[in-house]
A and B are shown apart, each in its own frame.
Chain A
Amino acid sequence: MHRARVVKLILWLFTGLALAVAAGRFLYGLGATTNLSDATPWGLWIGFDVLSGVALAAGGFIVTAIVYIFRLNEFRAVVRPAVLTAFLGYLAVVAGLVFDLGLPWNMWHLIIYWNPRSPLFEVGWCVMLYLTVLALEFFPVPAEEFSALARIRRALLKIRLPLVITGIGLSTLHQSSLGSLFLLMPYHLHPLWYSPLLPVNFFISAVGLGLMMVMFESHTTAWLYHRKPETALLARFGAGARWVLLGYLTIRLADLAWRGRLPLLWTPEWQTAMFWFEIALMVIVPVLLLSIPAVRFSRTGQWITAGLAVWGVVVNRINVGGFMQTGRGYYLPSWTELAISCGVVSMAVLVFMFMVERFRIWEKRPADPATAADELPEADRARLRWLGPPRAAAEAYSLVFILAAAVGFALLAPQPAESRGISPTPVRHARGGEELRIDGNLDGFGVTFRHSSHQEVAGGKDSCVSCHHMNLPRDRNTACSECHRDMYLPSDAFRHDWHASARGANLSCVDCHRKGALRSRETARHCNDCHKDLIPEGSPIEVKGYRAVGYVQAMHQLCIGCHANLGEEMTRCGACHQGLEDFIDLPEVSARRLERSGKRVVLPPY
């Protein structure tokens, strides 16, 4: 039994880690704990937990069909484990959905809000109903142990045939409808995968894989519990699965040929490589292996073949579910997504192990190490006490679980603060391409910032550091005002600093402002008192005051602040430059000015 214990220890470790991540996911949202994005809204949890989970649980309906419908009684030995696997598989699917759905507490809305046109609606209903059917199909097994439940058990056994038939019907529907889900994505799913036959493909692969999963599960538990696997029986499954998988391959290739997509099979793209990888893992290698009798009838051969095919289908579902959504951008699951997926599977396996140890899933329940040491092979008895008696083992599991959860929390702790806020901009390409919209005070408005021209002015490629990386934590870019020092001045047409400074106009306050009065724009002399040539002689303009919109106001309102609000008024300088009341034709004015004084307007040096 030491194998089972080591495996359980590892499973509890994954479960503990998943617990921490689950807490983080519900506290901080999906963005902080996954690599999902607006580009790839579906990822590992849909591809693996949901799509693969449902496909791999197909063993349940296939084996029940074989035994109860086709009445091949020799397969009875694998019914109970297959139904249990299916039941737990679907529970795991629902658990996976709890993490993936944004509002899992609304899951029951499927029952009251209907949209029968939606494939997902149909899948949801089928999964709900089939889960119920599986529960009813499986319930008699644990009920054997409790005499109080005998009546319910007998009643359930009586309706077993209708249950099995309903289960097959429901499985057929949702196994295929999971493929129909992707029919709505003709412009996203890669053409090697998108096909009107997706529902058929999904169904056939689920049938093949259901058989392989029963095989895989039987051998894995045989290894775990030193049990004798049903190798001869499973060899017949293998022979059947071979034809199903070949049929699947034929349909997929024929479909590609029919739609004229065969050339895609040789285009040097990574998607093509993934297609071949998936097909090889799922069909070609298992079919070849199963065609060799020595492999088909050998324990290891079956185990490896089934394992390959199972992974093949997982790859296929993940490809369809997220990876092959072309043009959506690059997606790789984060460690947190992997942790949840592993945790959900681990939980399911732990429940499976509990069930087989506690109830009669196989003809013979696996030996309890505490009481039935004699039944174990010699080599294992020596290592029996690896984790001590059951109580010590439980303590070890708890310890591992808590430690893993602690590690999970520790790993997660620094992450949300970063993920919830601003992504680190220095390593990011400027959003919106060449032009950034900067909204320093976060009021929803912003200025357009031309990155490359700023880079040029700042000194080319190596000048990044003059704006980035020179500041305090959480302040990732240099503020605009670091360079645009005048941006908070009332106007860039009038530089107060310059007029007052010794290096500039070197004026004292009273040179401009009325003595004794409050020093403001109103109490200052007009520009044209000194700048006699501001307005050429003969100009119709009368300057009464002078004030222009400040830099910040002008830039933060973008073009529109003036163009929309002022409209026709824009053509009047006085609309902004209060005091320049009348209409002037600027080109004409400056031409006249050049002609008369031979001087262009020269702004004072900054």
Chain B
Amino acid sequence: MSFAILTDTTKCIGCRECVIACKKENNLPPDFPRRWNLEDGLSARNWTSVIDRPDGKYVRKQCRHCLEPACVSACPVGALEKTKTGAVIYARRKCIGCRYCMMSCPFGIPRYDWDQPVPYIRKCIFCYSRISTGRQPACTEACPTQATIFGERAHLLEVARQRLRESPGKYLDKVWGETEVGGTSVLYISDIDLSFLTRGQELTDEPVPERTKLAMNAVPFAFLGVVSAMAAVNWVIQRRMKLEREPEPRPPQEADHA
């Protein structure tokens, strides 16, 4: 069963109750303004944030839990995993700290313990322990206005489309996260353009991991190809050199017999 979160920005009142619930649930320490923090409010100690947009609009930011996550395919040791519940979770005991996941995430979600001598990657894990035991994530539970709700992805997509149908003109005609980069488990419907979440970049529907597939599939063939080509070249050249040194005895020509 693949779960999802649907955030309806028109319902958000910017109360940040989700932020507080997240911090309580995950025991996150208080945050300071740090040199390495971004403006979006996410940090190693804030796994979700509410961004103030002009005209009193609020947009909640969190890990999008892509259906085909770039971070999962990037991690060299498989510390990140897309689970059946839809959550992208992180096994800190495997992590080597290469930060490739941070570099590859199209939404720029994973954050780092920059101030720690033993640092880990930090991001929303969809309250994995809660959703795998039948409860809903802390943030959706805390939301007082049902602006962010939890459910099965297929169902929430239906809910989203229904809202778009029922109040045309209220929303931009798009379910954010339905198809971009192969779809995400965190969906948005909104009356404002949400492309600021990807710094104005239009995401295509191609899942990011697809982009390395060709190159990665070519690896064994490239290796075997190069190795056998080298061996072949070597053999040919060696043989030619040998022949040059001691010319092969010429086969007797037919004319001689005649």
Contact = CB atoms under 8 A, between A and B. Distances in A.
Contacts of B94: 106, 109, 113
Interface in B197-214: 198-201, 203, 208-209, 211-212, 214
B243 interface: no
Contacts of B159: none
Contacts of B36: 31, 36-39
B103 interface: yes
Contacts of A38: 36-38, 42-43, 102, 108, 111-112, 114
Interface stretch (A176-184, A216-224, A397-405, A456-464): A176-184
Contacts of A188: 103, 106
Chain B contact residues: helix, strand, loop or mixed: loop
Listed residue (B96, B211, B231) with the most chain A CB atoms within 10 angstroms of its CB? B96
Contacts of A433: 39, 52
Contacts of A442: 30
A-side interface size class = 35 or more
A118 B17 contact: no
B119 A68 contact: no
Contacts of A37: 35-38, 114
Given A169-B223, A563-B15, A102 B97 contact: yes
Given A28-B117, A37-B114, A564 B144 contact: yes
B-side interface size class = 35 or more
Contacts of A425: 33
Contacts of A243: none
Contact of A432 (B24, B41, B111): B41
Given A102-B112, A109-B77, A172 B226 contact: yes
B234 interface: yes
Interface in A100-133: 100-104, 106-107, 109-110, 113-124
Contacts of B113: 29, 102
Contacts of A116: 216
Contacts of A113: 77-79, 94
A443 B20 CA distance: 10
B154 interface: no
Given A183-B215, A187-B201, A173 B237 contact: no
B223 A165 contact: no
Contacts of B51: 432
Contacts of A173: 219, 222-223
B186 to A, nearest CB: 17
Contacts of A42: 99, 103
B96 A101 contact: yes
Contacts of B142: 564
Contacts of A240: none
Contact of B70 (A27, A115, A184): A184
Contacts of B216: 116-117, 119, 122, 180
B212 to A, nearest CB: 5
Interface in B131-168: 142, 144
A117 B120 CA distance: 22
B127 interface: no
Contacts of B30: 439, 442-444
Nearest to B20: A445
Nearest to B35: A423
A243 to B, nearest CB: 19
Contact of B78 (A115, A124, A161, A564): A115
Contacts of B199: 327
A117 B237 contact: no
Listed residue (A121, A173, A187) with the most chain B CB atoms within 10 angstroms of its CB? A187
A46 B95 CA distance: 18
A122 B219 contact: yes
B211 A184 contact: yes
B253 interface: no
Given A71-B237, A180-B216, A29 B116 contact: yes
Contacts of B98: 100-102, 120
B100 interface: yes
B96 A109 contact: yes
Interface stretch (A286-294, A377-385, A414-422, A507-515): A414-422
A270 B69 CA distance: 32
Interface string A57-73: 00000000100111100
Given A113-B79, A113-B94, A432-B41, 17 more contacts: A28-B115, A31-B35, A38-B37, A38-B114, A69-B234, A102-B96, A104-B97, A106-B96, A109-B95, A110-B77, A169-B226, A184-B208, A186-B106, A419-B35, A558-B16, A559-B13, A564-B142
Closest 8 CB pairs of A and B: A102-B97, A31-B114, A37-B36, A115-B78, A184-B104, A121-B76, A113-B77, A103-B97
